[in-house]
Structure formats: structure tokens, C-alpha cells
Structure 1
């Protein structure tokens, strides 16, 4: 796993209950204080100025005292029963959590064994089992563990496709195709679970996702997902013939990291994405083809960082994007081909919208009410 992934605080395990004696003493003390406060408030509201002395104790007064004594005893018993019932409930809940964790561990061991099997069909079963375990995990930490294992599977080295031209390589070619199906299934399941709204069963939003250093040649669909926490890490990943979809995604605190990633003949789309506080990083990324599309995206905070990126082909487009107090940086970027286009983009506030785009970068995007330039298309020989 990448050391850059954010660490989550460890979840508390087991019970941490106070001794019953001090708890009861504290509960009685609080009850007496509350009763005294209520009595004093009622006394003041009724405007009482004193008590009428009784020289003789009649039967009616004695009966009232007996009822008061029994009421105090009953109240004390109810308080003790309430405390004991609460502690019993806590113990039962902890026992249920332990049982659920034990069952989860047993299922996890079986699923990991399937994932490590040599048969692709068995591995595929392990993938689905781990995804189901992540959905049913009794704690967030156990859910994150299942996701980490699925990501680690994608990061394992695998033999390249030997091709089907040589009959001697046909079996290895078929095995390669089968294992590729397993990897594509993992990527599909990741997208399926991140698209579910946070808080619903099966949603992985808020969990860290480490897909760094792998090769992605399939579609990952994060359509409409919300990244409010955690890190989605594509650092050093190679995208070849793939499509990564962040259309309509909301970035309100999470980070998506494409640092040092390589793009070749693919589509990475942030169309209609909303950036209110999150960050997308493309530092030192290599664009040799394909398209990175921010069309109609809304930037009201956060940043998009293309610092030291290399453009030798492909397009990065911000057509109709809107900017307000956001930052897009191209500092140190090198262009030997490809285009960066801000056609019909607008800005309504904020400073330092752009960096590294040469003289007059703040004229690239007009403020509200100003005329809209045709956009910026960088020539093949442009350098910052």
C-alpha cells in the first residue's frame, strides 16, 4: 500500500465501563441534585415563606411520610435497574460486535484464499466475496481492509499477453484474458460501490482507494460520486485505452491523485463535476494522447494542479467551466504537442486562477459580465 494514503484513527474495540459502585453513587448524587433543584424552583414559584410546625404527628401525616419513603425507595430501585439495564445492553452490543467480527474474519480468510487461488474462476469468486464482506463489515476499519486487499490484487505483477499467434502460447493467452476479466471486475465493483450515496448499504465513499502504479485498460465509473473524505490514489498509474468517469462527481474535501500518471489514448472526464473544496492533482503527469475533459465543471474552491506535467499529445479542455475562488496551476508544465482549451469558461471571483501560463494569465477567463475570449489553445512549441 502507498504510504501517502491518509491514516484513519483506530476504532475503539471492547468496552470501557466504569465500576458499578462509583456509577451508582454518581447517579444518586445527580438525582438528589435534580430533585433539590426541582423542589427549590417549585418553592420559589409558589411563594412559600415557611413551614407550619406540627407539634403532634397525626395518622395522615404519618401515611404521607410512609408513601414518601416508599417513593424514594422505588425511585432508587428504578435508577439502579436503569443503570444495570444500560450496562447489560452495552455488554450485549459488544458481544454482538465480537461475534460479527469473528464471523467476518472467518469469511475474510476464505475469500482471501479464493483470491490467491491459481484458477481465475475461483479468484473471481473471491473478488465478489471480498466486495460483499466490505459491504457487511461491522466496522469502517474492516471495510477498509477488504478494499485494500482488492487494490493490492490489482497491484500484483502479472504476465503480459503472449498473443494468440503461436499455438504454443494459446493457453497462456487464454489465461491472460481470464485474469484480465478478474481485474476488470475489481475495477467495475469499485466504481459501483463509490457511486452509491454515502451512508447507504454498500457505499464505499469516504474510504481510501489505492490504485497507484497499476495499468488500467478498462472503464471505471464514478458518475455522481461524492468525495468528501479519503484519498483516491492513481499516482503512477498508466491509463491505456481506458475511460475514467467522474461526470457529475462532487469534490468537497477528498483528494484524487494522478501525480506521475501516464495517459495514452484514453478519456478522463470531469464533465459537470463540482469542486467546492477538493483537490485533483496531475503533477508530473504525462499526457501522450487522449482527453482530460473538465467541460461545464464548477470550481468554487479547491484546486487542479498540472505542475511539471508533460504534454506531448492529447487535449485538456475547460470549455464552459466556471471558476470562483479556485486555482488551476500549470507551473513548470512542458508542451511539445497537445492543447489546453478554456473556450467559453468564465470566472466570478478570486485571485491566482492560473499559474505558469505566461504573460497575462488572468485575462484568459473574464469576470462575470465581461466579454468571453475564444479560449486558449497552446501551440505545439509553447513553453511556460
Structure 2
């Protein structure tokens, strides 16, 4: 049951001021004014009587004059309050009109996005983006619509019956529009911090370069990158949650290079790299957590080379390298923890060579080398703790040749060697290095 004496409850989307009903306010105001007039009359009489220097009684006219003056002042204040209330009502009317107009724009843009002609859909993209900029309260809704469009089934085969001419340009325009709104988190119309859901989407091109992911939840989970060039270069991951997990990279070129991971959680786990070229090169991992665990590298080329690991926890555990070429070479591990443990190298070529281990904790524990060519050569171990413990070497080729051990700790404890080739040629070992050789013949200090 509704209490008629209470103010109207707040409603989402309502712009009318939250005011008391007039039938309740008006009598109350009259009573207050009457009480004020009565009090002022007697108060003025007492005041004037006490201030009178003569013993004559104060005249009624003087009392009335003083009372009227004060009531006039009160009336002016009440008139100002009424004018303010009227202004609030007019603003509410204006806001309702704006809301109605924005709702109509939303309906029109959504209708355009569903049109058969690509040119009309393009107009719908721009209309929805402009609406999201103009309507901060519902900005997330507009962004959700654009993301939902990219999640819809998309045929990339031009010979297929369901192929739609002009559809690729519409999708590239949506991606470009989103990217433009992720460049500056301080901009008035920024979309940084909003949720972006591309779950299960198909990408055959698109430019996300230079984007800033500083909040919200960004999901590319289960997406397929199958052709063209998808560009994430120079992006910054500084907060929130970004999920690329369980994605498939089967063709084209996908570039995450020169990116900065300084906060939040970024998930590439359980992904499949089976074709094309994927670049994570020259990236900086200085904070947060980045997860590449349980991924499969079975074809194509994947590059993590020349990256810097200085503070993040980065995980490549339990990955499978069964084909193609994967490169981590030329990287620097100077802080944080990086995990490659529990991985299986059964074919293809994986390169860790030319890297510098100067401060991180890096683990290759419990890995299996059964057929791949895995290169750790020409690396420098000067301060990190690098562990190859409990690994199995049963085939393929593993090379640590031409490396320098000048400090830190490197261990091969509890590992098993039963086949393949493991090379330690031309090593430079200083006394400051602590090396536990495990199943391999110990090499004495040979470099002062």
C-alpha cells in the first residue's frame, strides 16, 4: 500500500524533480506563514517596547509596520523558492524531452544495424556510436549493441551462400570506432572502463592498436582469428580483466607486439595457434598477471621475442608445442616470475635463445622434450633463478650452446635423459654461477 504523505519514489529514467505534492505543501505553507506572522507580531511588539526610551506604550502601527516588513522579506524568499521549483519542473520537462529523443535515436540506430543494405548498416554504426557519446547514462548499452553485432555469425568465405557483401567493411568500421574510443581514458567520451564483450566473435581483420584497457571486463574468449590483419600493437593493459582465453589463431596476422602489461589480469590460456603469424614481440610485462598456460602451438609462427619481464607473473605452463615455429628469443627476465613448466615439445621449433636472465624466477620444470628442436643457446644467466628440474629429455634436439653463466642459479635436478641431443658446447661459466647439472656431466668453471 502506498503512503500518500511520502514523496514520490525515484525511478530510473525519470527527470521530474522529487517534490512533495502541492496539495500537501500549500496548506502547510499557509499554516507556517500564519504562525510566523503571529509570532512576528508579538515579537516585534516586545522588541519595540524594550527599545523604547520613553514610558509610552508602543503604537500598534509601528508593530504592524515592522511585521509587514518582515513578512514582505519572507514573501520574497518564498517567491524565490517558487521560482526555483518552477525552474526544476521546466528542467525536468526538458530532460524528459531529451530522453525521449535519445530513445528514438536508439531505436532508429538499432533498426539501421539490422538493415539488409551494408550502407544503411554503416550509418547505423555511426549513429549508435554518436548516441553512446551523447548519452552517458546509457553509454554501456550502446557499446553492448556494437559488440553484439560482432558476435553475430559471420561468413568469411565469399563463395558461401550466406556471405553478405559489404559486411566486412561494417565490422571493420565497428572495430575502428571502438578503438578510437579506447585511446585516451581522460577523454569526455572515452569508453575505457566499460565492458566489451566479443566472446566467440570471428575476426578477419581490424585495428585495435594503441588501445588502453584500464578497467571493466574485456572478453575475446573463444574468438577466432582466421585471416587478414588484426592489430593490437602498442596497447596498454593496466587494469580490469582482459580475456583472450580459448581463442583460435588459424590464419592471417595478429599482432600484440610492443604492448605494456602493467596491471590487471590478461588471459590467453588454452588458446590454439595453428596457422598464420602471431606477434607478442617487444612487449613489457611489469605488473599484473598474464596467463598463456595450457595453449597449443601446432602450426604457423608465434613470436614472443625481445620482450621484457620485469614485474609481472607470466605463465606458459602446460603448453604443447607440436608444430610450427615459436620464438621467445632475445627476451629479458629481470623481475617477477615466468613459468614455462609442464610443457611438451614434440615437434616444430621453439627458440628461447639470446635471452638474458638477470633477476626473475623462471621455471621450465617438468617439461618433456621428445621431438622438437628447442634452442636456449647464446643466453646470459647473471642473476635469476632458472629451473629445468624434473624434465624429461627423450628425443629431438635441445641446445644450450654458447651461453654465459655469470651469476644466479640454474638447476637441472631430478631430470631424466634417455635420448635425443642435448648440447652444452662452448659455455662460459664463472665461479659466481651456481649450476646443478642433474643427469648431465658437470662443466667446470672456465671463465674468470
**What SS does the corresponding residue of 2:175 show, helix, strand or coil?**
helix
Q: 1:245 aligns with which of 221, 231, 243?
A: 231
- Cα distance change, pair 111–69 in 1 and its aligned pair in 2 (3 A): same
In the alignment, the residues of structure 1 paired with residue 271 and residue 64 of structure 2 have an alpha-carbon distance, to the nearest angstrom, of: 84
**TM superposition shift of 1:293:** 3.6
Match of 1:341? 328
Q: Is the 8 A contact 1:336 1:380 kept in 2?
A: no
In the alignment, the residues of structure 1 paired with residue 202 and residue 328 of structure 2 have an alpha-carbon distance, to the nearest angstrom, of: 27
Q: 1:321 aligns with which of 308, 321, 334?
A: 308
- Cα distance change, pair 18–176 in 1 and its aligned pair in 2 (3 A): closer
Q: 2:123 aligns with which of 122, 125, 149?
A: 125
- Cα distance change, pair 67–139 in 1 and its aligned pair in 2 (3 A): farther
Match of 1:257? 243
Q: Is the aligned partner of 1:139 residue 2:136?
A: yes
Match of 1:39? none
What's the TM-score, normalizing by structure 2? 0.59
Q: Is the 8 A contact 2:282 2:304 kept in 1?
A: no
Q: Is the aligned partner of 1:188 residue 2:184?
A: no
Q: Is the 8 A contact 1:227 1:278 kept in 2?
A: no
As a proportion of its length, which structure holds more strand? 2
- Cα distance change, pair 257–78 in 1 and its aligned pair in 2 (3 A): farther
Q: Is the 8 A contact 2:298 2:321 kept in 1?
A: yes
In the alignment, the residues of structure 1 paired with residue 297 and residue 70 of structure 2 have an alpha-carbon distance, to the nearest angstrom, of: 81
Q: Is the 8 A contact 2:357 2:382 kept in 1?
A: no
Q: 1:148 aligns with which of 139, 144, 149?
A: 144
Aligned-CA RMSD value: 4.2
- Write the deviation string for residues 256-306 of structure 1: whole angstroms up to 9, x where unpaired: 211111112344434443333222111111111344444443333211111
As a proportion of its length, which structure holds more helix? 1
Match of 1:4? none
Q: Is the 8 A contact 1:263 1:290 kept in 2?
A: yes
Once the two structures are superposed, the pairs formed by residues 16-55 of structure 1 within 5 Å of their partners are 17=18, 19=20
Match of 2:96? 98
Q: Is the 8 A contact 2:290 2:315 kept in 1?
A: yes
Match of 1:354? 339
Q: Is the 8 A contact 2:231 2:254 kept in 1?
A: yes
- Cα distance change, pair 17–286 in 1 and its aligned pair in 2 (3 A): same
Match of 1:330? 316
- Write the deviation string for residues 218-240 of structure 1: whole angstroms up to 9, x where unpaired: 122231x2222222211111102
Consecutive unaligned residues of structure 2, counting only runs of 5 or more, are 1-10, 33-48, 344-351, 361-379, 388-394, 399-448
Consecutive unaligned residues of structure 1, counting only runs of 5 or more, are 1-10, 29-53, 164-168
Q: Is the 8 A contact 1:239 1:263 kept in 2?
A: yes
Q: 2:195 aligns with which of 186, 200, 208?
A: 208
Q: Is the aligned partner of 1:178 residue 2:166?
A: yes
Name which one, 1 or 2, has greater alpha-carbon Rg: 2
- Write the deviation string for residues 167-217 of structure 1: whole angstroms up to 9, x where unpaired: xx8xx69x633222222222222222323544333x322222222212100
Match of 2:108? 110
In the alignment, the residues of structure 1 paired with residue 260 and residue 69 of structure 2 have an alpha-carbon distance, to the nearest angstrom, of: 62
Match of 2:209? 222
